[in-house]
Amino acid sequence: MLLHCCCAVCFLQVIDYLKENKKEDLVLFFSNSNIFPKQEYQKRLNELKKVAAFYKLEVFEDDYQHLNWLTYLKNNLEKPLNSYSENSERCLKCFEYRLKRVVEYAVKNKFSEFATTLSVSRFKDVNFINNFSLKLAKENNLTYLPLIIDPFKAYERGLVLSKKLNIYRQKYCGCEFSLKNKKL
């Protein structure tokens, strides 16, 4: 199974669930061209690799294509990108872009099943993420595994494990639009 990971902390929220559901053939995929700046992207990737090494899992990295991501958003939204609030249509288009990349990779590399850690966040539109992923799965003859986990329990578990493993916990979703209102 291919697991799209948005960050190490979110991966830590689902590892127990995936182990319980006998997903031993798990491969992690880091496809997050939304993350800005590039140094932040690299920091999150390095943290995921650290956690993956702890669990003896492989991590594959997608190409970092921030300008392609921005273009996708601009081409699929009516207003200027910075005019959208957090958790609005801009975020849904971001999820679309990233999930399409995950499915492209899954098909190209002959995975039959995929999931995403985006689907466990208490800050994201989980219904949209799951429904869009199910649609993509059907269109590409794949199986999508919705991660049915209590988001508050998952968050607590991720917090405990991230502290135990000394994992960097980011303070914004990743894109420059979510960064502008955060004090780092």
Report yes or no on whether pTM surpasses 0.85.
yes
- What tens digit of pLDDT does each residue of 10-26 get? 899 898 888 887 767 89
Structural domains of the chain, ranges and CATH numbers in brackets: 2-176 (3.40.50.620)
- What tens digit of pLDDT does each residue of 102-158 get? 999 999 999 999 999 999 887 789 999 999 999 999 999 999 999 887 767 777 888
pLDDT band at 184 (very low <50, low <70, confident <90, very high): very low
Tell me how far apart the alpha carbons of residues 65 and 94 are, in angstroms, rounded to a whole number. Answer: 13
Q: Which residues contact 14 (CB under 8 A, 6 or more apart)?
A: 3, 115, 117, 120, 147, 149, 154
Give the lowest-confidence range in 4-8, 24-28, 71-75: 24-28
Instruction: Measure the N-to-C terminal CA separation of the chain; round to a whole number of Å.
Output: 35
Which secondary structure element, helix H or strand E, spans residue 117, and what is its range?
none
Looking at the DSSP bridge assignments, the partners of residue 106 are none
